[in-house]
Amino acid sequence: MKLHEYQSKQIFARFGIPIPAGDVAEMPTEARRIAERIGGRVVVKSQVLVGGRGKAGGILLADNPDQTEKVATRILGMNIKGLKVRKVLVDQAVDIAQEIYLGLVIDRSAQRVVMIASAAGGMEIEEVARATPEKIVRAVIDPFLGLQIFQARGLAFGIGLDKTLWSGFVSIARSLYQAFVACDASLAEINPLALTDKGQLLAVDAKIVLDDNALFRHPDLAVLRDVDEEDVYERQAREHRLSYVRLDGDIGCMVNGAGLAMATMDLIKLYGGAPANFLDIGGGAQADRVAVALRIILSDQNVKAVLINIFGGITRCDEVARGILAAFAEVKADVPMVVRLVGTNEVEGRRILAEAKMITATSLAEAAQKAVVAASSK
């Protein structure tokens, strides 16, 4: 779950990271009042859960409260990468001498949290990593020791920071790590960490992504979820407890069990296709959940074929087959459906589906091949 910049900044501030004075507004008049309170120049920033807001025109400077109201009127309601701006953050503007990147991510292969720093801040770190990897320095953090001072100093040295700024940088780095761990985050990022013309380090942007699997431990953070910003189908999936991740291929997958879903995706790739999603409908496979899952899969315009791979254990295959038919009658789609049902009553299940003109398969390899053919001939 992604947090907004203003929410992330509030968390960072609690852990002692310096942030600009500012507040969030939903109305231009509110934005004006915040600017009056701050005094001087402000920056009005759209609060949407995508990066690159600056380039999209969602970040504008304003010299006075009048102008702030005008600028906020312009930004509120704006559409940025498909998301409607409903809130703006009004922050004290600062004069930036240098933009630094500082972030924490989980490196799964190292099985550690890794802190990343770069003197080339402001832009997307993925871009920096691609074009100029030598500009990125990393520190791998031992979970029992936490981020050590020497490591943070090493990063300060690595990005060529002036020595007078090291202690400030070390304290921000340590606070960032504490915030990351305390929230069970999967990402915490300050980009840019601005070095102001007055020689102060300030988190001008903030981003936290929380680990959904740990949200149950953080009811105070769970309520920060902004449902207006969520993909409507990912939200439906979450509400029906379906694990759904949209991908960029063209074969929709409906599978019960995460491991089976992964294997299904692998086989689609093996036979030259590309999965449009990961979807685990979990145990039971009741008709209503099958219908929801099918609707979610078909909402993706890229889907040219659907592969349903269900293992009938507790739920019998004939029941699953009837569930699929009921769902299909309700959703109505003209994409080919390849179904592989195995387990209890599988013969009966396949018979029901074949009568309904669905493509059936017995082995997973056969199902994957048929789905790839169906998708490419569409």
Q: Which residues would be at the binding site for ligand GDP (CB under 6 A)? A: 43, 45, 51-54, 59, 93-96, 99, 122, 191-192, 204-205
Beta strands in 295-358 (DSSP E): 305-312, 337-343
Given the complex with ligand GDP, which of 122 and 273 has the nearer CB atom?
122
Given the complex with Mn ion, which of 45 and 289 has the nearer CB atom?
45
- Give 325-329 contacts, CB < 8 A, sequence gap 24+: 325/352, 325/353, 325/356, 326/287, 326/290, 326/291, 327/287, 327/290, 327/291, 327/293, 327/294, 327/295, 328/294, 328/356
Closest distance of CB 260 from ligand GDP, Å? 38
Site mask, Mn ion, residues 300-339, x = CB under 5 A? ----------------------------------------
Which of 5, 30, 189, 346 is catalytic? The answer is 189
Which of 5, 69, 99, 101 is catalytic? The answer is 101
Closest distance of CB 341 from ligand GDP, Å? 47
User: From Mn ion, ligand GDP, none, which one binds at residue 59 (CB under 5 to 8 Å depending on kind)?
Assistant: ligand GDP
Closest residue to Mn ion: CB criterion:
205
DSSP string of 242-295, one letter each residue: -EEEE-SSSEEEEESSHHHHHHHHHHHHHTT--BSEEEE--SS--HHHHHHHHH
Closest distance of CB 196 from ligand GDP, Å? 9
| Residue 304 CB contacts under 8 Å (≥ 6 apart), including other chains | 250, 251, 335, 374, 375, 376, 378
Given the complex with Mn ion, which of 205 and 250 has the nearer CB atom?
205
Given the complex with ligand GDP, which of 93 and 368 has the nearer CB atom?
93
CA atoms of 147 and 352, how far apart (whole Å): 59
Among 205, 318, 319, 346, binds Mn ion (CB under 5 A): 205
User: From Mn ion, ligand GDP, none, which one binds at residue 43 (CB under 5 to 8 Å depending on kind)?
Assistant: ligand GDP
Given the complex with ligand GDP, which of 42 and 261 has the nearer CB atom?
42
User: From ligand GDP, Mn ion, none, which one binds at residue 83 (CB under 5 to 8 Å depending on kind)?
Assistant: none
The reply to whether 366 belongs to the active site is no
The reply to whether 233 belongs to the active site is no
Closest distance of CB 222 from ligand GDP, Å? 24
* Inter-CA distances, 22 with 31, 68, 176, Å: 10, 13, 20
Q: Under the criterion CB under 5 A, does residue 191 sit at the interface with Mn ion? A: yes
To which residue do tokens 């507790």 refer? 314
Q: Under the criterion CB under 5 A, does residue 46 sit at the interface with Mn ion? A: no
Closest distance of CB 214 from Mn ion, Å? 25
Contact 312, 346 (CB under 8 A): yes
For residue 4, the 8-state DSSP code is P
CA atoms of 33 and 71, how far apart (whole Å): 13
Contact 305, 253 (CB under 8 A): no
CA atoms of 181 and 155, how far apart (whole Å): 19
Given the complex with ligand GDP, which of 1 and 100 has the nearer CB atom?
100
Please report, as a single letter, which amino acid is at residue 101: Y
CA atoms of 171 and 177, how far apart (whole Å): 10
Which residues are known to be catalytic?
101, 189
**Interface residue list for Mn ion (CB under 5 A):** 191, 205
